[in-house]
Structure 1
């Protein structure tokens, strides 16, 4: 066994040392593996970042109400009477000011993306101090809070990064209405940073919404209160709403970009086939280039297995180098990259690409699969090189 191991180690060393003779073909294999890994990680980081942005916005102890059948806030509605009924539901937390309920509006307005200078939909949310307090991680990073009853608004940090014209102190016109930016807020990088916030009653007046709202948030006495609230809605004929935990709502919304991960796997798999073809060519060339050396080693007593292992090690080494290069490229160019895309409410969601150890493992695994397959068949050929080749070449 020790002889077999020492033979294999010697062949591996010889193969690695001979790589400069096939420098350009070896680099081509490294490059192909690196591109596959980088593309895969880019798509996975995009999907992971979007999903994290959505999921981190939700709270387990916030009940989220929308009209039954509505897929997003934009399609929902709630009258003032219905808000009052929900305020009286069992399981709703109260403080000295009354039920901890936030009826909210959701209006689509236009913004100009910095990256493309094209217009895109962004959400203008109407809420009050109750609603602001329900957003976990809320902090004003610049300026101040909007004053109720005025045409002032505050801007999410994500909007400020991705869109023009929303700097502190700017006046913004949406249609015939003008607003003034008085503050910039952060909610820890979640989806709420992709919104503009203003006083709900002002938006009701300007957009002719009367006393209606679209969605309702309510703090529960505990997450266990959700079934009790759902039963109350079922038994109250004046309510046409369904309830879920806010965390569940945003988890579902986050799936809207889940296809990007699948798309990334499909694209990377197709590219991997191309990379595999090139890698097979590289490894067959390597075996052909070293045929005399392999045969000579066989003639002096080296086993078939050592020739097989040496070629496999060469292929896996090149694939591993490619995976490292691709991972580094993805980390440099994509990790933390800010972008925006269309979310479930037909508005832009600002998010950051997120690369994590599990994603790197997936990328490296794909490269090593390419290396294994591209090495196996040439290694099988190397193991079957006849000893007589050494003497034929010598003549």
Structure 2
């Protein structure tokens, strides 16, 4: 019996192909948007988690509350006194003060502007950089106190018309430096397009004494979160201010995930408006279909069709419209997500692999079917309540 209902519903849908596709467009657009947004945001979340995993669990990042990353115009708040306070904490093995700024780089008479990063480059610090995933692909680390630079992976390839190589001469703010190393690709454009040099040399180039950020390495056997709390207390007491944050990678990741979750919720909510429009479209089409087929409904009832049977036929029709819209929308959303993945990869953004899972696919299609069926409920009830005599008299 159910097969008969589905056959009749399919016949009615295919009989008016154009109207059926136009009705399904709202569902298609809504489902495609939701699938693309969720898959991209989940892929971005996975990529960010992978970046933080490279940092390890035994590091602490100390930044000012107004810090916005390399290139920030906020005044650098940390000085050597802050560094000494942190170094006196027994649970800490290394303290790595860093400074960022935008500088002019000149190579083969071509100028370019990018991030300059001043970082500690003694042997112990180099081991820390290697531990957190920043290592040298070609050449070696620059030496502290020398006019030597390391080049980010993308900076070497894309900063100038000619590719930068080890032993090339590079002018930084018109000061001559030697390229001694090319960094391995980290996976985010900010680090991969930066130029690195010793922090003491960077002070002269950037004409600043203070640091933008401090990274701390925790000794084995200590809880990084407890050490971060201790750093927070010691610095607050020394500075007499709470104008900074001392966070572990896990805490930073939690904050990032919270922000991504809110963004994802807002975007999916906006995309859901298309689903609402699609649901209204299905309801409108089904009401129109009931009016057009009133006489047909009367004949069906006159030859013995029950109210339940009539209602199921129209519910099946609405559900199929939702199901088709969901299937096409899911496929389109997957294609859109892959497009974003390719665009992110070509732009040098963090390596993004969209997260398309079977639960997402099945959930999207099932949800679309449910929307279609619910949208057709009122028209189906209206069709079921028609009296055979009145329906047959309808012109």
Q: Could you say which TM-score interval applies, normalised by the shorter chain? A: 0.7 to 0.9
Shift of 1:198: 0.7
Aligned to 1:125: 117
Aligned to 2:380: 379
Q: Which structure 2 residues correspond to residues 321-332 of structure 1 after superposition, within 5 A?
A: 321-332=324-335
Distance change in 2, residues 1:150/1:362 (3 Å): farther
Distance change in 2, residues 1:39/1:207 (3 Å): same
TM-score by structure 2 length? Answer: 0.74
Q: Secondary structure at the match of 2:344?
A: strand
Selected match of 2:280 from 270, 274, 277: 277
Does the CA contact (< 8 Å) of 1:107 and 1:125 recur in 2?
A: yes
The answer to whether the aligner puts 1:61 opposite 2:58 as a matched pair is yes
Deviation per CA, 1:172-212: give whole Å up to 9, x if none: 8776568769535334x467655525124232231012364
Q: Secondary structure at the match of 2:27?
A: helix
Does the CA contact (< 8 Å) of 2:44 and 2:352 recur in 1?
A: yes
Shift of 1:390: 6.6
Q: Secondary structure at the match of 1:66?
A: strand
Distance change in 2, residues 1:124/1:307 (3 Å): farther
Aligned to 2:207: 208
RMSD of Structure 2 on Structure 1 (CA): 3.9
CA distance in 2, matches of 1:38, 1:318: 15
CA distance in 2, matches of 1:55, 1:191: 16
Paired residues, number: 361
Deviation per CA, 1:49-89: give whole Å up to 9, x if none: 4433433333432122234x445454553223432332331
Shift of 1:168: 4.4
CA distance in 1, matches of 2:369, 2:171: 54
The answer to whether the aligner puts 1:34 opposite 2:28 as a matched pair is yes
Aligned to 2:14: 20
Gaps of 5+ in 1: 1-5, 93-98, 112-120, 341-347
Does the CA contact (< 8 Å) of 2:63 and 2:214 recur in 1?
A: yes
CA distance in 1, matches of 2:20, 2:210: 70
Aligned to 2:269: 266
CA distance in 1, matches of 2:180, 2:38: 35
Does the CA contact (< 8 Å) of 1:323 and 1:364 recur in 2?
A: yes
The answer to whether the aligner puts 1:244 opposite 2:228 as a matched pair is no
The answer to whether the aligner puts 1:106 opposite 2:100 as a matched pair is yes
Q: Secondary structure at the match of 2:304?
A: coil
Does the CA contact (< 8 Å) of 2:308 and 2:384 recur in 1?
A: yes
Shift of 1:371: 1.0
Aligned to 2:301: 298
Distance change in 2, residues 1:20/1:139 (3 Å): farther
Q: Secondary structure at the match of 1:339?
A: helix
Deviation per CA, 1:299-349: give whole Å up to 9, x if none: 232221122122112212221221221221121232324439xxxxxxx96
CA distance in 1, matches of 2:180, 2:316: 61
Aligned to 2:197: 199
Q: Secondary structure at the match of 2:216?
A: strand
Distance change in 2, residues 1:256/1:225 (3 Å): closer
Shift of 1:245: 1.0
Gaps of 5+ in 2: 106-112
CA distance in 2, matches of 1:110, 1:361: 52
Distance change in 2, residues 1:280/1:225 (3 Å): closer
Deviates more, 1:318-327 or 1:218-227: 218-227
Q: Secondary structure at the match of 1:60?
A: coil
CA distance in 2, matches of 1:262, 1:126: 38
Does the CA contact (< 8 Å) of 2:228 and 2:247 recur in 1?
A: no
Deviation per CA, 1:114-166: give whole Å up to 9, x if none: xxxxxxx9754333424522424x566x6445533345333256x799x7648
Shift of 1:90: 2.6
Q: Secondary structure at the match of 1:380?
A: helix
Shift of 1:367: 2.6
